[in-house]
Structure 1
Amino acid sequence: MPVSAHQLLIGDVFTNAARAVPHRTAAVLGDRSLTFGEIDTGADTVARTLRGLGIGPGERVVCWAGTTLDAVPLFAALARLGALYAPVPGTLGVDEAAELAAAVRPALVVTADRTPAETARLGAAIGAPVRDLTAVVAADAEAYGAAAARGDAEAHGAVAARDTEPHTSTGLLETDPHCLFFSSGSTGRPKGIVLSHRVSFLRSHPGSQLEPRGAAVCSFPLFHMAAWTISLQQWQARDTVVYLDHADGQAIRAAVQTHRATRLYCVPAVWQRVLDGDHAALATLRFADTGTSAVTAGFLDAIRAAAPRAHLRVCYGSTETGNVAALDGDGLRDHPHSIGVPGTSTEIRTSADGELQVRGPLLFDRYFDDPAATAAAFDDGWYRTGDLAEIDAAGRITLTGRLGELIRTGGETVLPQEVEARLADHPAVADAAVVGLPDPAWGEVVCAVVVPRDPGRPPSLQDLRRHLDGRLAAHKHPRLLRVVDELPRTPATGQVRRRLIAQRIAAAPPCRGVSSW
C-alpha cells in the first residue's frame, strides 16, 4: 500500500479529483481555464521538469508572480515532489522580492511577466537560478512533442517512460512541509509561515459526503494564503474556483454573474467596492463571507440587501491559525460585536493579560528558519494571536484590541478600536485610525488619524471631541488630530498598520492640531 493511501497529502487532492471528474473545470482566469484532468497531467509534466532542475523533497521554490493559471500546475507539482511552494507577491519590486526570496534560500525561483533585466537582478541578488514560469510549465510537454515529431524512438521512449511514474505522492508524509507564506508585515519584518500537507488538507476538507457546491470567486491574489485555501476547498469538493486579474468591484460582480458563482469571500474594503454597483449580479450567491477587520451592522445589512439569498458569515483567523471562529445567522444581529464561537477541533483561551490563544490541528508548523520567533509565538502549545479578547459563557469571542496597541494615558487604558468605531459614525469621517503617541506629561496621548469625506472640509479636533461627548469617557477622546488622504493598510487583508502610522507621525513635525503627511 503506498504511503499516500493513509496520509493527508495535497498532491493526492488533484489525483483524486482528476480520477473522478477529469473534464470538470477546476480553475478559471479570464478566457482561460483548466480542467482537473489538465491540472493532473500538467502537474506531472512540471514535476518532471523540476526534477531535471534538481528539485526534490524539502527544496524550496519561490514563485514571484501575480495571479496566473500557470501557478496551479506548479503548486500541484511541488506538492507531489515534496518541495515547498513559496509565493512572493508579484506586486513587489525586484529589491523587495529579492529580500523575501533570499530569506528562504530557494533552490529555484520562477517568475511571470518579468523582463530579462529584472530576472537577472533577482538571480544575482539571491544566488539561485531563475526560470520563467510559462517555460517551466511547457518545457517537458515541448520536449515530448519534439521527440515524437523527429521520430526519435530512443528519446521519445525515455520521455514516455516517465509517464509511468505514479501520480500519487508516494513516500511523503502528511507532516512534511508543503508551502510557505510570508506574513503581511503589519507588526514588523515579514516571517515565513510554514504549513504542512496535513494542515493545508484539514483547512480545506469539505467532509466525507460531497454535496453540490458551485463556483467560488476568489478575490485574493495567488500569492496569498487565503487564495490557495479557497482553491483547495473548491478542489477537494471537485468544483470550480474563479480567479481575477484585478479584484475591483466590477470584475468581481462580472465573475459572479458569468459563472453563476455561489460563494464569495472578500475583506470589508473589497466588499465595499462590490456593493458600489449592480446588485443583480450577486443573485446566485449562497454564501457571502467577510472578515479580517471590524465590520458595522450597517455594512452587514448592505451585504444582505445586495445578496439576499446568501448566508452571511464573518470569519476570524490568520495564516498561522487558519479559520478560528465565525459568526453567522441570528448571531450577527444578536451579538454584533462578536466573532462567534470556535470552529471544529479548535480550542481557545485567554491569558492572564487577556490575549486570545488558540490550539488545534489547523495551526501552522513554524516560522521558517526562526526558532526564536516560533517559540515566542506559543505559550505552552497555545498560539498567541496578539488579539485581546473576552469569551462569554456561551463560548462566543469578542475582540477588544491588539496586545501592544493599547494606549496608556494618564494611568488609564484606551483600546484604539473602540475609539475608531465611534469616530466612524461622524458624518465628516470616511475612515479613521487611532494610535498612541509619546507624551512627557501623560505617557501617551490619543491621536486620531482621519480621512475626511470632503477633503476641502475636514473635521476639526473639537468637532471629533464633541462627537464623542457622552459616548466615550473623556480620557479616550483624541488630543491630537492628523488628516490624511488614506490610511496605510496591509495589501491583502486591509488591516490598518498602526505602527507605520505612528512612525510617520513621529517623522513629521510635531503638531497639536490638524496635519497631514
Structure 2
Amino acid sequence: MDIGSYVAQNARKYPGKLAIECEGRRYTYRELNAEVNRLAHGFLAMGVEKGEKVALMMKNSNFFVFSFFAVAKIGAVAVPVNFRLTSPEVQYILQQSDSALVICDVEFEETVWHAQHGSGVRQVIVVGKPNVEESLSYSCVLSKNSSEPEVMVNEHDDLEILYTSGTTGKPKGALFDHARILKVGIAMAIEMGMGHGERFLHIAPLFHSAQLNLFLVPGMVFGSSHVIHRDFHPSKTLEAIQEHSVTHFFGVPAMYNFILEASDKGEHDLSSIKRCCYGAAPMAPELVRKSMEMFGTENFFNLCGLTEGGPGGVILDPEGHRQHPGKGGRAVFMTEARVVNPEGKNVLPGEVGEFIIRGETVMKGYYKKPEETARTMRGGWLHTGDLATVSDEGMITLVDRLKDMIISGGENVYSIEVEEVLYEHPAVLEAAIIGLPDEVWGEAVCAVVVPRAGAFADENELRAFCREKLAGYKVPRKVFIEKELPRNASGKILKYQLRQKLHVAER
C-alpha cells in the first residue's frame, strides 16, 4: 500500500480520534483526511502530475502534514527543505530536485522567490497572506472536493527526496519510494512497540528524516495522535507532555541538554512518557543518565542512523542501555550492519573500521547523482563514512566521522571518546573535539566547550580532568570557550566551521 491510503483508512477506522493538534488547531482523522484531499485536488487542478516534485519549506505545523500527505496521495514526490537555508542554498535544491512547486510559510516567501529563479518552479504557494503578487495563498489552492483523488499510487512509486545535511559540501538528495518508508515504520513499531495508542510530540524539524520517517509517518499509519510544535522551547515541551499526556518523546541530544537546564524542569508531570528516543548525534552516557532521572523512565532508545538509510542503522534499546551504556547498538530490524576495514573485511572486536549497512529501508540512490551513488553503495552495501567499533557481543559504536578523525603524532584520536569525558565535568554544557594543524604533531587535539550557565570552565582544570581518564595523546592541547556550538537543523555540530574559525584565530 501507499502512504496516503493509510490516512484514508484511519479516517474510516478512527473517524473521531484526534489526529493532530498544532497551536490550538485540532483535527480528527476524518477532518485530517478531508483537508489532505482538498489540497490534493487543488494540486491536481494546478496541473501537478504523478512523479513531479513538490518542495516544502515550512516549519512544523498542521500545514506541513497536510502538504506532505496530499503530495503522497497524488503520486508526486515531496522535497522537504531546511527552512534555515539561504536563497543560494535553496536554489541549488530546487534546481537539483527538479521541483515544480514550492509550498512555504510566509516568512520564507522572500527566500523562495530569490531561490526559484533559474529553476523549473512554476508556482509558489504561501501559508499565510502572500507578499509577492505572483504567489498563491494556501487557502486559494484548496479545492471544495474532499473525496479521494483518483490517482493510482503504488508502493514502488517515489515518495520523497531527503537532502543530506551538507556538513562538508553541497547536499545530496536521497530518493525513497513508499515501500521503503513503510518499512522504516514497521521496523520502528517492532523495535519500540509503537501502536495506535501513542501520543507523539513533534519538536524536532519535520523536514528531517528522523522526525518525519521514524515518527510522523508511522504514527499516521498506525492511527496515533500527534502534537506539533513549530519551534523548540524547553519549558513549552515539558508543558505539552503534561497537558497532552504524551507517550513518545524524541529529541536530539542538545534538546535534552536544554530541557535539563530549564528552570521549571521539576514542575511538570511527565509520567505519561513510555519511551524516550534520541539520535542525529551521539549522546554522552552522563547526559543519558540525567535525562532518565528527569523523565522518570529507563525506556530510552538510541537511534544511530543516517538519512540514506531511511534513516536506519543501529538501535540501543532499554536493555542495551542497562548493559552497554554509551554503545551504539545492534542493527535495526530489516537492516544488516557491519564494521569493515579498507579491504571490506570485518574488523576484529575493538578495532576501528567503517560502518556499513544494507537493508530494505536504504535509499534507491542519490537523485540524479549516479557517480556519488556508485561510490556510496558498493557491493550492495551503503558505505556511511562513519568510523565504528564492534564488541564481542556484536554491539556497534560510532567513534567518529571518517573525515573528523584526528591523527596526532601518529596516533588516531576519536572525538566521541574525549567528548564523553568532558561531558562528565559539572561545568560543561556542550563539548566538541576537533583537530587543528600543528607543526610538531601534525594535528593537535582541541576542545571547544560551552559552559553551563553560571559555571566557570577553566582550561587547565578541564585538561587535568581529561588526563585522569584518558591517555596523554588524547588530552586536548587547547581548550576554547564558546557561547554556543554551530549546528545544522538535525542537531549535528558543524565541526568544519569550528575548524575554520579557530584555525584562522590561531594563525
TM category, shorter: 0.7 to 0.9
| Residue 456 (structure 1) shift | 9.0
| Residue 118 (structure 1) shift | 5.1
What are the Cα deviations for residues 398-425 of structure 1, in whole angstroms up to 9, with x where unaligned? Answer: 2222212221122221112222222333
| Residue 241 (structure 1) shift | 0.9
Which residue of 126, 135, 141 corresponds with 1:132?
126
Q: What is the match of residue 465 of structure 1?
A: 463
Q: What is the match of residue 503 of structure 1?
A: 500
> Sequence identity, in percent?
28
Say which is worse superposed, 345-354 or 122-131, in terms of deviation: 122-131
Q: What is the match of residue 187 of structure 1?
A: 168
Indicate how the Cα distance of structure 1 residues 408 and 231 shifts in structure 2: closer, same or farther if over 3 A, else same: same
Amino acid at match of 1:506: H
CA distance in 1, matches of 2:286, 2:109: 49
What are the Cα deviations for residues 251-279 of structure 1, in whole angstroms up to 9, with x where unaligned? Answer: 11121111111111111211223333135
SS at the partner of 2:372? helix
Say which is worse superposed, 99-108 or 255-264, in terms of deviation: 99-108
Amino acid at match of 2:79: A
- Aligned counterparts, 1:344-493, within 5 A: 344-353=333-342, 354-453=353-452, 457-460=456-459, 462-492=460-490
Indicate how the Cα distance of structure 1 residues 194 and 418 shifts in structure 2: closer, same or farther if over 3 A, else same: same
Q: What is the match of residue 349 of structure 2?
A: none
Which residue of 337, 349, 353 corresponds with 2:326?
337
**8 Å contact from structure 1 (residues 80, 168) kept in 2:** no
Indicate how the Cα distance of structure 1 residues 117 and 168 shifts in structure 2: closer, same or farther if over 3 A, else same: closer
| Residue 309 (structure 1) shift | 4.9
Q: What is the match of residue 286 of structure 2?
A: 298
Amino acid at match of 1:132: V
CA distance in 2, matches of 1:295, 1:210: 23
CA distance in 1, matches of 2:142, 2:120: 28
Which residue of 225, 231, 234 corresponds with 1:240?
225
| Residue 133 (structure 1) shift | 4.0
CA distance in 2, matches of 1:505, 1:305: 36
CA distance in 2, matches of 1:137, 1:40: 17
What are the Cα deviations for residues 144-192 of structure 1, in whole angstroms up to 9, with x where unaligned? Answer: 4xxxxxxxxxxxxxxx7xx77x55752x332221011221222322221
CA distance in 2, matches of 1:284, 1:440: 55
SS at the partner of 2:8? helix
Residue 17 of structure 1 pairs with residue 10 of structure 2 = yes
Q: What is the match of residue 218 of structure 1?
A: 202
Which residue of 254, 260, 273 corresponds with 2:239?
254
CA distance in 2, matches of 1:454, 1:133: 38
Structure 1 length normalisation: TM-score? 0.86
CA distance in 1, matches of 2:304, 2:150: 34
| Residue 395 (structure 1) shift | 2.1
| Residue 120 (structure 1) shift | 4.1
Amino acid at match of 1:259: H
| Residue 217 (structure 1) shift | 0.6
Amino acid at match of 2:465: H
Q: What is the match of residue 198 of structure 1?
A: 179
Amino acid at match of 1:69: N
Structure 2 length normalisation: TM-score? 0.87
**8 Å contact from structure 1 (residues 448, 478) kept in 2:** yes
Say which is worse superposed, 241-250 or 497-506, in terms of deviation: 497-506
Amino acid at match of 2:329: G
- The structure with the largest alpha-carbon Rg is 1
What are the Cα deviations for residues 374-402 of structure 1, in whole angstroms up to 9, with x where unaligned? Answer: 11212311111222222223321122222
SS at the partner of 1:320? helix
CA distance in 2, matches of 1:192, 1:270: 26
CA distance in 2, matches of 1:141, 1:498: 43
Amino acid at match of 1:485: K
| Residue 117 (structure 1) shift | 5.2
Amino acid at match of 2:70: A
Q: What is the match of residue 112 of structure 1?
A: 105
CA distance in 1, matches of 2:481, 2:195: 51
CA distance in 2, matches of 1:296, 1:117: 40
What RMSD over aligned residues (CA atoms) do the two structures have, in Å?
Answer: 2.6
Which runs of no fewer than 5 residues in structure 1 stay unpaired?
1-7, 145-159, 511-517
**8 Å contact from structure 2 (residues 56, 104) kept in 1:** yes
